[in-house]
Amino acid sequence: MTETTPLAYLPATEALRRFRERTLSPVELMAAVIARAEAAEPTVNALAERTFDEAMAAAREAEARYSGKGRAPRPLEGLAVATKEEQPIAGRRATDGSLAFRDEIAEQTHPVVERILDAGGIVHARTTTPEFSCAAVTRSRLWGVTRNPWNPAFSPGGSSGGSGAALAAGETTLATGSDIGGSIRIPASSTGTVGFKPPYGRVPAMAPFNLDTYCHDGPMARTVADCALLQNVIAGPHPTDGVSLRPALVLPERFEDVAGLRVALSIGLGDWPVDAEVEANTRAVAEALRAAGAVVEEVEVPITRARVRRAAMLHFGAVFGPYVASVAAEHGDLLTPYALAFAEETAAFAAEPGGFLAGLVIESEVQAVLGSLLDRHDVLLCPTLALPAFAADDDYTSTEVVVEGETLDHYLDAALTTVFNIASRHPVLSVPSGFASTGVPTGVQIVGRTYDDTTVFRAAAAVEAVRPWGGVPVL
């Protein structure tokens, strides 16, 4: 952060240090974040719910803790955290971005939100999503279109697009997301932020989707250290989630350098066409890691997008699709075209011979490829998206997506993310790689061995150090 950077962009780790030194008050920072949100929201539209008055009251309570009154400050004391609306809070609306649920009130609080509140984080806002979080752009009939702060003609991605946009716009200090096919990493890439898909079970979730191996809740931030800070708060076993891992993994505050780290570089995995600017930025990250002492080797990864899409749709057809279809059966006239299309497409795959088992066969093939690759390398580096960003004003129910002259079968084939929901035990960080000529950021994924979160953060911290990013969108 420079002297000219707005206070609302202060990293969480730096804010906590200044709170403890009493050179900054949580009240000052919260006021700056709220002011930035009020200025940006007419353009960005990232917040589904605002509780600014309650947040200021909580900031005053945090200020008292730092001054020695009452209990000691907690790990996130006084920080603004925007949570994805999909993650419910008891007593608050739980719409899932759908007009069908616009009057629903949650009875439970998501374990991630519960832990943030217990750690002193202040949930001043909840962020927008596409309906049922089943799209890679953030737009709904309930909330309208959420736009990318770097260029409003483009989407911040989805489904955690509101969280990514809020971070990029300075409307929050930290944010949460969830990821079933790239929904943390796609927005992180398109907004120039950091998003972590933890390995399955690392972060507790809510039933019944906690049992879905594709599903992950995780942290989003503007720096790698901030992302690690929030991850340490939300990770660990929870009594309501029997698949949450114990003991909790605690990431270090600082990571060793990458001298000798073996990095496998793949621009398009098996057959993903990749935009020239995205490729150039990905290669620049690889060169930066090489300059920092890593051993970078370009590799072939024999995983094809057709096989990945088939496996994913067979999986969704057995788990997620029937849920959306059940809502469509009762409230179809209220749903978005993309939600209805998702229900129809997944049902068609589910009806195919072999069904879920056929998908598991493909999944095992994907996991075998990645397991073998990461037995020889410490991390895999590849783009997050094959293009910089999707358009904000399109739901992609009929629009073809063309990347470097190749027409994709489905717009979601532009994401190189779902591979790692299939191989769900691999931790994946998306970090910024640069900017496209449209002004929209691009990102890379750093993929680790199963449950080796620390090495992924180590590589990401090195990228951040040798190829710093940042800046403030002009809104």
Q: In this structure, how many other beta carbons lie within 10 angstroms of the beta carbon of residue 299?
A: 16
211-243 pLDDT per residue, tens: 999 999 999 999 999 999 999 999 999 999 999
Peptide bond into 189 cis (omega under 30): no
Q: How confident is the model at residue 470 (pLDDT cuts 50, 70, 90)?
A: confident
Q: Is the pLDDT of residue 202 over 90?
A: yes
Give the start-to-end residue ranges of the domains of the chain: 7-466
Please identify which of the residues 25, 159, 163, 424 carries the catalytic annotation: 159
Backbone angles phi, psi at 70, to 5 degrees: 80, -150
Beta bridge partners of 414: none
- H helices present in 192-331, as ranges: 224-234, 276-291, 305-318, 320-331
**Hey, what CATH topology would domain 7-466 get?**
Amidase signature (AS) enzymes (3.90.1300)
Q: Is the pLDDT of residue 1 over 80?
A: no
What's the average model confidence in pLDDT over 41-62? 98
Looking at residue 3, its pLDDT comes to: 65
Burial (CB < 10 A; 0-12, 13-18, 19+), residue 371, is middle
Q: Which two tokens stand for residue 370?
A: 């990645």
Q: Is 84 noted as a catalytic residue in this protein?
A: yes
Q: Is the pLDDT of residue 373 over 80?
A: yes
Please identify which of the residues 25, 98, 178, 183 carries the catalytic annotation: 183
Global pTM reads: 0.98
Looking at residue 5, its pLDDT comes to: 87
Looking at residue 475, its pLDDT comes to: 85
